[in-house]
Amino acid sequence: MLRFETAGESHGECLVATLTGLPAGVPIHLDRVNRELWRRQQGYGRGGRQKIEKDCARIVSGVRHGRTIGSPIAVLLENRDWKNWTEALPVDEGDDRKRKPLKRPRPGHADLAGAIKFSFEEARYILERASARETAARVAAGALCKEFLREFGIEILSHVVGVGGCRLERRASWDQIEALSRRGEVLLGCVDADTEARMKAEVDIAYRTGDTIGGIFEVVAHNLPVGLGSHATWDSRLDGRLAQAIVSIQAVKGVEIGSAEESATSFGSKVQDTIHYSKEHRQFTRGANKAGGLEGGISNGQDILVRGYLKPISTLRKPLESVDLETRDPASAAYERSDVCVVPAAGVVGEAMVAFVIAQAVIEKFGGDSLRESLRNFQGYQQQVKDF
């Protein structure tokens, strides 16, 4: 079973991701892992933190001579901001006067519920762990999963389909999304230049008014085999597992598979992907991909399409009403350096989560202690599918 965990606080010494269960022999290209980390830091509307942090993965176990060795992989990401926080967040007792307490919990964050739940007088430790800085570690783990999936020809990318009230009105092709991922500059991660300009204008309004803005990203998993996940039990359904992975991303409040939103308001005759067969190519084809590559919780060989719906960032330059935890008097919520729009970055995190879930499903289906064994099983299965 493939598993991953992250550890680390937003202003602590470093973030750590561990990934356990990847077969031995998977080539790991650190430059590609670091490119993913770079992509997560981009996008119009990011705050000052991205100027401080230049994420760079340091793999400390599980990879030797450029390949996985079948043991747990641990990746460290240094927090450059730690140097400003060593006295505020020491591991030992430290000096109480150097603390940076967060006494005015921010609506929309874990601050208040977390402080009550963990019995802290103020919310500093809650902010530190709830912060989306943690997503850098997810992206590192996801990048390793992508390295594994590449060997099976599976690729995963994202693009932005909505920012505030502005939407991309047509489906993006895989080639367009791939071209986007090669760009040296990420603006809002939209495949259409005019729509992207309108998205930028939405972010500018939020900047000008001290507000924040949300949106929608779409993750596309390309070139998948038929048969990942299963209809047989609730928890083996790939759609459910993807939904959980996407909604676990900070600020994501909704998930959509395929054209779910449109389908919910259409007649059944309009939303199913009709089945056809090409005798010449001895292959099943589909009339469309409104199901987003998943039927009955099983991958059907079409691209998997999963969208994440982000609420606007909760920390506002014009703070919302809150309460001082010490005096219980009304107070403006605390403000800490913050992003205004994170939709493209959240898409990159979405890719990482989808890569993990799909890598997990691939390992479940094809097994193998070594990549060689996994690929042999995969190729045998592909032949079986061809002969169906």
Ligand X SMILES: Cc1cc2nc3c(=O)[nH]c(=O)nc-3n(C[C@H](O)[C@H](O)[C@H](O)COP(=O)(O)O)c2cc1C
Which spans of this chain sit near ligand X (rule: CB under 6 A)?
47, 108-110, 130-132, 135, 249-251, 311, 313-315, 338-339, 342, 345-346, 349
Judged by CB, which is closer to ligand X: 109, or 307? 109
Judged by CB, which is closer to ligand X: 286, or 317? 317
User: CA-CA distance, 342 to 44, in Å (whole number)?
Assistant: 8
Query: What element of type H or E holds 310?
Result: strand 304-310
Q: How do strand 252-257 and strand 166-167 relate by DSSP bridges?
A: unpaired
Judged by CB, which is closer to ligand X: 112, or 228? 112
Q: Dihedrals φ, ψ of 194, to 5°?
A: -65, -45
Q: Smallest distance from the beta carbon of 345 to ligand X, in angstroms? A: 4
Q: Smallest distance from the beta carbon of 339 to ligand X, in angstroms? A: 4
Residue pair 141/75 in contact by the 8 Å Cβ criterion: yes
Judged by CB, which is closer to ligand X: 6, or 315? 315
User: CA-CA distance, 255 to 309, in Å (whole number)?
Assistant: 6
Q: Smallest distance from the beta carbon of 365 to ligand X, in angstroms? A: 30
Q: Smallest distance from the beta carbon of 297 to ligand X, in angstroms? A: 25
Q: Which of 140, 171, 154, 152 is nearest to 307 (CA)?
A: 171
Q: Smallest distance from the beta carbon of 370 to ligand X, in angstroms? A: 35
Q: Which residues contact 234 (CB under 8 A, 6 or more apart)?
A: 240
Adjacent-strand bridge partners of 17: 6, 75
DSSP 330-368: EEEPP--S--S--HHHHHHHHHHHHHHHHHHHHHHHH--
Query: Positive or negative, the Cα torsion across 194, 166, 180, 53?
Result: positive
Q: Smallest distance from the beta carbon of 19 to ligand X, in angstroms? A: 20
Adjacent-strand bridge partners of 61: 74
Judged by CB, which is closer to ligand X: 250, or 302? 250
Judged by CB, which is closer to ligand X: 23, or 105? 105
Q: Smallest distance from the beta carbon of 201 to ligand X, in angstroms? A: 21
Judged by CB, which is closer to ligand X: 37, or 172? 37
Query: Positive or negative, the Cα torsion across 353, 354, 359, 362?
Result: positive
Q: Which of 103, 140, 101 is nearest to 8 (CA)?
A: 140
Query: What element of type H or E holds 139?
Result: helix 135-150
Q: Which residues contact 221 (CB under 8 A, 6 or more apart)?
A: 154, 155, 156, 293, 303, 304, 306, 354, 358
Judged by CB, which is closer to ligand X: 22, or 130? 130
Judged by CB, which is closer to ligand X: 103, or 109? 109
Q: Smallest distance from the beta carbon of 234 to ligand X, in angstroms? A: 24
CA dihedral 374, 377, 378, 382 (to 10 degrees): 170
Q: Smallest distance from the beta carbon of 200 to ligand X, in angstroms? A: 18
Judged by CB, which is closer to ligand X: 27, or 254? 254
User: CA-CA distance, 92 to 257, in Å (whole number)?
Assistant: 46
Q: Smallest distance from the beta carbon of 340 to ligand X, in angstroms? A: 8
